[in-house]
Structure 1
């Protein structure tokens, strides 16, 4: 079977050495340190959200999850879900950049959907893992488009209705993508054909697990955000006693 090497996170992790596979790439550590400095120096609108974003970015890029995502498509999907459904909203809360104009919500949601589907198509996915520029283009476009969407959703000027529709649309298209991955009759992600056996999985089983994670796990943050928006809207409408 063809095999595409994973360029950035290094060779695929194996169970015996997983916890030794920390990523100490200097530019990455400098970038995370700079983000932490912005939060620590009170340059963020929400320090708790800022520290949460720093911690989760360390999890997906520095911890052994990076090397594990070289081995398993399910680990890579977990990485992506954390990036777009947890890191992005936390960054949107911490750095809303209120002076920056908000683009129209519908094109932002649509562009984010296209980017998610594009990077989880087998061809672009394999290319995104095979080169360092491709890898970072994947990460930056996923995170950047998600940040733009969450920033609009959290904007005080956006009514609750459109914000909820954006969340529902995202849940819907990610659920559809997850279902297509789950029910694909053959393994599609060649970057992991030679690396799943060490973890007791076939490429197809790994792919099905990844689809379930995108279908079910990814839904939770969006549902939580929707419930929070509804609760906040109801509280605002409560008459003063």
Structure 2
């Protein structure tokens, strides 16, 4: 299949895949997205002014992911898309919980939340579902929102869990992220058709791009969860500061 034949099929929300010489000029000035972000900030400022910094953090991260040239880079490279997905679960989701409060999310056990988040994350990395998201805007946003909201529910459940349950839940996330990353690294073939003709300009084959994405999930994503588990256990084991008696 030639690039010419492929071009009309994949019409990602972030626009056509850019080349290295021009990708920094590929900003996504979607008026609907900008209006939604502005509206959310306005409502948040009126209803929960105390959480303004978290709300600004969510909006700023969304601007980086979906307005800046990083958005278009995700059309060219699967490794850039993996950065997007990690940012959603590790940055946007906990900021969202802080911005709107834990009460906005359903009360689930950490085990249930972990299963749901893992299932949704893996679902969108099934080639057929990923390809659909890269060719239809509504499906693309279904991907982004489901990954983010399921991760936010997981973060909420994590905060409500006991120490050992929290550590186990974080380690489970580390394992599932590592397994998915390893699968992408050692698959031996490229899975994702939308990137079959977009990586060569960047000096990568589609398989190399996929392997880099797998390493990003395995090393960076898994490492982030390991760090979180370490912090959880360290806080639990650290002696509490108690005032000394006179």
TM-score (norm 1): 0.90
Partner of 2:212: 209
Contact 1:44-1:95 at 8 Å conserved across structures: no
Moved over 4 A (4+): 38-42
Deviation string 1:10-60 (CA, Å, 9 cap, x unpaired) is 111111211111111111111221233355447166443332222111111
Q: Distance in 2 between matches of 1:220 and 1:35?
A: 32
- Taking the TM superposition and a 5 Å limit, the aligned residue runs for 1:38-49 are 38=43, 40-41=45-46, 43=48, 46-49=51-54
Q: Distance in 2 between matches of 1:46 and 1:175?
A: 33
Equivalent position to 1:164, from 162, 167, 170: 167
Q: 1:226 to 1:50 in 2, by over 3 A?
A: farther
Q: Distance in 2 between matches of 1:38 and 1:222?
A: 32
Contact 1:45-1:94 at 8 Å conserved across structures: no
Displacement after TM superposition at 1:133 (Å): 1.2
Deviation string 1:41-97 (CA, Å, 9 cap, x unpaired) is 471664433322221111111111111100111111111111111111111122224
Q: 1:123 to 1:70 in 2, by over 3 A?
A: same
Larger gyration radius, structure 1 or structure 2: 2
TM-score (norm 2): 0.89
- Taking the TM superposition and a 5 Å limit, the aligned residue runs for 1:86-101 are 86-98=91-103, 101=106
2:13 paired with 1:8: yes
For structure 2, list consecutive stretches of 5 or more residues without a partner in the other structure: none
Q: Distance in 1 between matches of 2:217 and 2:229?
A: 18
Displacement after TM superposition at 1:101 (Å): 4.6
2:240 paired with 1:240: no
Contact 2:105-2:156 at 8 Å conserved across structures: no
Q: Secondary structure at the match of 2:101?
A: coil
2:221 paired with 1:218: yes
